Amino acid sequence: MEIKNFHNRKNGFLNEKLPRLVASELFGSAVCNLNCSYCYIPKNDKMKKHHEEILKALDTDKFLDNLKLMYGENLTDLALWGTEPTLVLDRLQKNFKKYINAFPKLKSFSFSTNFVAYENRIEDFLIFLSELDKEFSFKFQISIDGPEWVTDKFRGKDVTKRILANLELLIAFLNKTDLKKAKLSLAFKATVGNEMLQYMNENPDKLDEWYKFSYKLYELGQSITNKNVKRPSYSLSSLVVPGKYTTEQGKQFGEYVLNVRNYWNHTDIKDSMPLIKKMPTLNAYTYRFNTMIQHIDSGRLLEQPASTTCSGLDTQCAIDLNGDIMPCHRLILFNDKEYVDSIKADKAYMEDWNVSGIHEGILKNIKKFFMPNIHVSSERAFDRYAYVSNAVHQFSQFRITTATTMIRELADTGQIDPAYMDITLATLLSTYLNTVNSCPVENYLNTGSWLLNLVSMVRLFGNGAFQNIMDEFMDISPQLGGLDYGSNAVHQGK
């Protein structure tokens, strides 16, 4: 089949191969106003050149044309990714009505922001959406890691104060503005590394200070009175990924999980946080375990494996300004040889990868096999992409059994708790790491396969953390809406 005919299909040429594909991430920015120490995107002069090209694409129909070719009229969700999206939001807004008109099913737009460069861009975008007289959801996540001694340490001086000041401006705007049919969903997210978790393990008063700051932020979000705004959620304890975690760091994480559980079970603490007093746990990883159990109990884990993993390689893909597609934003810029060469020269960055000496082949294969271009690639290239996308989900039993074997070997060699020699416990941890806590792209970058787990993540969860998560789940399962599993396999695997 000729490329021309293949690419001119009315409903988007990849939808026949991936019928669930409805969402897209755009490479929308390549410069940032911060330089967070744990950011997985190395900053260099090449990024500035890319940003200039992005601005040109935002000012024209380049992104729009790529999306139409890819999705036809089937696009429902659009997200900006890269570095800091608020730096380009005003440029996107100028042409965003074209996106609304081109995709009648488009219902949401989202991004994650450091929320430092506020400058009314978000307010202006919300006013723009309200004037469309169309039901539309705008979602954005604010990254704030905690009090100044947490956030400023990793993100820069006075960042915490600037975020809080901008948040107060946003709330004042929302409480006086009629958004009409536009809806806003707001979320806060904290990212902390093992170094900070160990610090809080050793200083319980700091753990208390961190959670009380987070509660005050949550409380501030509840002061939003606009009926079109969903009350903000707060996600705590997101670990830094990628990360090269050791056995000792896994033990530290396990201790942290236990400390948080004990902290929240203290009656006086709950009484000081009335708005979230009824929450059964403060640990996001326990909620994920509950989700996994629900998928097992309902049969979805085997019958609908795509429902238990990330949307990359399933309902969404990322696309850059030149028309290269990829599973998600994590791979953006890996198609640029000059940029990739600069990454390989960055020893500090490469230290975060789990396997040394293999990066050259991995990076070449990503570009060669898993980044077809919507303008020039053959149908065979997209067949390969569709096969890989489906394989990640459909080969779920292979992923779980392979990781189970690896977990038992790590237990046998003393790298994780020897309890994981037990096949039931090893299978549970493997299932957890391959479903609600999985990242196929990170797997590939570190192992050369979408289907193989990172040894690092096994070390992180296999030294106390996962057992403590399961113990907590057993105590709070009825409050989570789950079943009373009593002495079933979950409990027996402890």
Query: What's residue 204's pLDDT?
Result: 92
- Diameter over CA atoms, the chain: 70
Identify whether 286 is part of a domain: yes
Q: What does the pLDDT look like over 409-421, one tens digit per residue?
A: 999 999 999 999 9
Q: How does strand 316-319 pair with strand 325-326?
A: antiparallel
Compute the CA torsion angle 244, 248, 249, 254 (nearest 10 deg).
Answer: 140
77: left (phi > 0), else alpha (psi -120 to 50), else beta? beta
Number of structural domains, the chain?
1
Confidence grade of residue 7 (pLDDT, cut at 50, 70, 90): low
Backbone angles phi, psi at 351, to 5 degrees: -65, -25
pLDDT of residue 48 exceeding 90, the answer is no
Domain that holds residue 170: 3-308
pLDDT of residue 255 exceeding 80, the answer is yes
Identify whether 177 is part of a domain: yes
Q: What does the pLDDT look like over 169-179, one tens digit per residue?
A: 999 999 999 99
Q: What is the rounded average pLDDT of the residues 472-489?
A: 66
Confidence grade of residue 355 (pLDDT, cut at 50, 70, 90): very low
Identify whether 237 is part of a domain: yes
Query: What's residue 19's pLDDT?
Result: 82
Residue 317's H or E segment, with its range, is strand 316-319
CATH number at residue 263: 3.20.20
Identify whether 388 is part of a domain: no
Distance of alpha carbon 214 from alpha carbon 220, whole angstroms: 10
Distance of alpha carbon 13 from alpha carbon 104, whole angstroms: 18
Identify whether 24 is part of a domain: yes
Nearest CA to 430 out of 389, 392, 397 is that of: 397
Higher pLDDT, 217 or 484: 217
Identify whether 399 is part of a domain: no
Compute the CA torsion angle 380, 381, 385, 390 (nearest 10 deg).
Answer: 10
Query: What's residue 236's pLDDT?
Result: 64
The radius of gyration of the chain's CA atoms, rounded to the nearest angstrom, is 23
Identify whether 446 is part of a domain: no
Distance of alpha carbon 451 from alpha carbon 421, whole angstroms: 22
CB 47 within 8 A of CB 21: no
Query: What's residue 223's pLDDT?
Result: 94
Q: Residue 478 half-sphere exposure, CB side, CA atoms within 13 Å?
A: 3
Other C-beta atoms within 10 Å of 120: how many?
12
CB 189 within 8 A of CB 201: no
Instruction: Give residue 184's Cα distance to chain centre.
Output: 19
Tokens of 165: 């000041």
Q: How does strand 136-143 pair with strand 182-192?
A: parallel
Identify whether 323 is part of a domain: no
Query: What's residue 57's pLDDT?
Result: 92
Q: What does the pLDDT look like over 395-439, one tens digit per residue?
A: 888 999 999 999 999 999 999 999 999 999 999 999 999 999 988
Distance of alpha carbon 138 from alpha carbon 107, whole angstroms: 9
